Structure 1
């Protein structure tokens, strides 16, 4: 191969990289904008369908059952080690500074404020979001979505809306489930493995935790379920290119959901801590 052939190849590769980085941010912002518009359209249509009594309740119940069945057991399996790891790491640090009596508050609030919403949302994004995206994507490439539009049926309200409401409800229920399982795991680890007393653990927890902490965890889970359903629905309805396109759509939905959920968690937590700082009761 001559140097004349190598130079154009290098120039072409460099041009592709430059074009990618010039075009990628614009396409990313365009995708986010379309998802926001889709989310608004879903919520608006959902409110109208509830008022008119046209909401597909049967599909909603079916999706709730499906989402709970695919996410409940994995959530429980993940919640136990998450609670134990938080208790182990936080407890070790607190013991080093001689503040053993505060282990219950640190561990319990860590599970309540951060662990439970994130575990529930990751299960929704990974298990539920991928299934929703794959289902809608397969319908799209089989042209079922186009057929529904031709018959005058809105696929957003018929297919995506019940999945959105189901994802929000199941996410909140999973968050409460993770709070219970995580707290029980940390309590068991502290009392039976670390030799602490049950009274000190519970007293420290109730001294710092407030009902608003649980409420913000549930609200975060509600929003996380909303974000996941919108993202999964968008990528599913815009899948192209056959089965390979569906696989790419599922991958994009899961990755974007994880990034959005972690970013939203940081933002919501920071705003909550500024508005409602922790205090001893």
Structure 2
């Protein structure tokens, strides 16, 4: 009896239970991706919705991101007489780091929060319980199409963020800092490699998967009442951001360990 009390008193038990359940849901989603029939209509609707609410913010947010990176790199490299290599460093930083992060933040904040709110509202209205009574698996019917939509749109928006970020860095470097247009463009391939684009897309897909799973889990397990749905939405954004930054660190370290950097 005392041991049971000790287990109940463990302060991190609830958090560990949530982590375990979220991990179990992630595995169920992966398995559900390969089962048929696939909910194409739900997937297309969710992909269109996520793209609609995330495309413009991603493009607009990528401009200052790329400009800031370009401005800082030029200030640093110009001190060593290498200001012409700003384009090389900018493309590498934007493609490999900034674009996936921008994409993840926007789809988590816009698409993920909407998914959590939608599923949370269905949960408190007991629609999810009704589906289970009818023998319909909510994971395969609702969660898998939403997660796949987040992954697909994340990969597409990552390409958009890369292009817009590099263009923003170019404009600010040439117009504000007096950089040479030809030098900026010709230095693109000094440091960047094709593998940088591949790992960038891989990051975006993984971030989309994480954001989708977190949003679905919090939506299907909200605290009681309408206020609980709002809390679930807030938790979705915060948890997604934390996981994205941690996973980005791990993937970056693995990539730099496996793929050698390209020298100038």
TM-superposed CA distance for 1:221, in Å, is 0.2
- Report 1:16-95 matches (<5 A): 23-49=10-36, 54-95=37-78
Taking a change above 3 Å as real, the CA distance of residues 191 and 238 of structure 1, as seen in their structure-2 partners, is same
Q: How many residues align?
A: 257
**8 Å contact kept, 1:91–1:103:** yes
Greater C-alpha Rg:
1
Structure 2 distance, partners of 1:91, 1:277, is 24
Where structure 1 has 5 or more consecutive residues not aligned to the other structure, the ranges are: 1-18
Q: Quote the residue 2:114 is aligned against.
A: 131
2: CA distance, partners of 1:204 / 1:29:
48
* Alpha-carbon distance in 1 for matches of 2:14, 2:94: 37
Whose helix fraction is larger, Structure 1's or Structure 2's? 1
Of 145, 167, 178, which residue of structure 1 is paired with 2:161?
178
Using structure 2 for the length normalisation, give the TM-score. Answer: 0.94
Would the alpha carbon gap of residues 28 and 244 (structure 1) be closer, same or farther in structure 2, given more than 3 Å must change?
same
5+ long unaligned stretches in structure 2: 1-5
Provide the aligned C-alpha RMSD in A: 1.4
Deviation at 1:24, TM superposition (A): 4.1
- Of 236, 242, 254 in structure 1, the residue corresponding to residue 219 of structure 2 is 236
State the partner residue of 2:263. Answer: 280
**Aligned equivalents of 2:172 and 2:33: distance in 1?**
44
Q: Deviations for 1:79-121, whole angstroms, at most 9, x for unmatched residues?
A: 1011111111121111122211221111111111110000000
Native 8 Å contact 2:50 2:111 kept in 1: yes
1:195 match: 178
Match of 1:143 in 2: 126
In the alignment, the residues of structure 2 paired with residue 29 and residue 97 of structure 1 have an alpha-carbon distance, to the nearest angstrom, of: 50
1:137 CA drift (Å): 0.2
Asked whether the equivalents of residues 91 and 107 of structure 1 are also in contact (C-alpha less than 8 Å), the reply is no
Q: TM-score, normalised by structure 1?
A: 0.88
For residues 159 and 152 of structure 1, what CA distance do their matches in structure 2 show? 14
